[in-house]
Amino acid sequence: MIKNFYAGSALKEERRLKENLKFIDLVLEVLDARLPLASRNSRLQRMLGGKKIITILNKSDLADREITGRWLSILAADKRPVLAFDAKKTGGIIKLENLLLANRPQRMRYRRPLRLIVVGIPNTGKSTIINRLAGKFALRTGEKPGITRGPQWLRLRSGWEMLDTPGLLPPSLKGKRTASVFGLAAIGALDSNAFDEEEVALWLLERYLAGEKTRRYLFKCYSLENDGALDLAGDLLYAIGARRGCLIKGGQVDKKKTAWIVLRDFRKGTLGRISLEMPEDYNGIPSEG
């Protein structure tokens, strides 16, 4: 499923990250609340070494509340501060700033601003978090993976300094067809040229069909009858395409275009809250050999 996406530029950015780590006091690790396991780059974990890390479950407004609460409890057991974050709420940024203050190193060699770095895979919302901390539109944001180009230092409204880095994916994903890879493609962490959109949309629809709440909301969103007639993801995709008028010559449903609509609606939160990974699957901070 996954094509080659780990170019030489990614290795170059890794080297830049290593060079800048010596200047950093705190690390903000940004994960997608819907996919905390898959959106954690174990390669980055190893690179960060003994740095103090604060984990942020971003886009928590798109994930199931109850499941996110369980994730917070489990991740906190790793003795790292963890916070569910919704960039749309003012209270979230206040909580994050308080968390940063509480975890500031007690002894700093020189009188200087606190230096932070934000790390994570593409499209987890790193730049959006920085913009909120800065109190202004400081970095470009968007759904396209890799929109941040090279490390960027930014002075925050608190007087602190933060280094933003491009999203980095581990090269070990290449060629795999696991639930984690499908999930990464669904949340937009992979370039659209790296996967088959129809295949990912079908995988995602299966997740919605598996839950009573998610299934009900999905059918309501697309104005479809939830009467048990559409229990297969393939049939559901076809019905969505027909409902949205995604037709090609001969009156057949354009499944590729329909898949794109489903993925777009999911990423925008139009299809309601859903979590793609369960806390029971967590076995501690992963390591990559």
Per-residue pLDDT of the chain (289 residues; tens, 9 = 90+): 545 444 556 677 778 888 888 888 899 999 999 999 999 888 887 888 788 899 999 999 999 999 999 999 999 888 889 999 998 887 888 899 899 888 887 765 556 788 888 888 889 998 888 888 887 655 554 455 544 555 667 777 767 888 877 777 766 565 567 888 999 999 999 888 888 999 999 999 999 999 999 999 999 999 999 888 899 999 999 999 999 999 998 889 999 999 999 999 999 999 999 999 998 877 766 544 3
Cross-sheet strand order for the sheet of 26-32 = 82-84, 52-58, 26-32, 115-119, 161-164, 152-155
Q: Three-state SS across 206-245?
A: HHHHHCHHHHHHHHHHCCCCCCCCCCCHHHHHHHHHHHHC
Domain 196-268 has CATH 1.10.1580.10: yes
Query: How many Cα atoms are found within 13 Å in the side-chain-facing hemisphere of 163?
Result: 22
Q: Within the chain, which residue ranges are assigned CATH 3.40.50.300? A: 8-173
pLDDT in the model for residue 8: 55
Q: Within the chain, which residue ranges are assigned CATH 1.10.1580.10? A: 196-268
The CATH code for residues 8-173 is: 3.40.50.300
Tokens of 200: 């990912």
CA distance 110 to 120: 28
pLDDT in the model for residue 9: 62
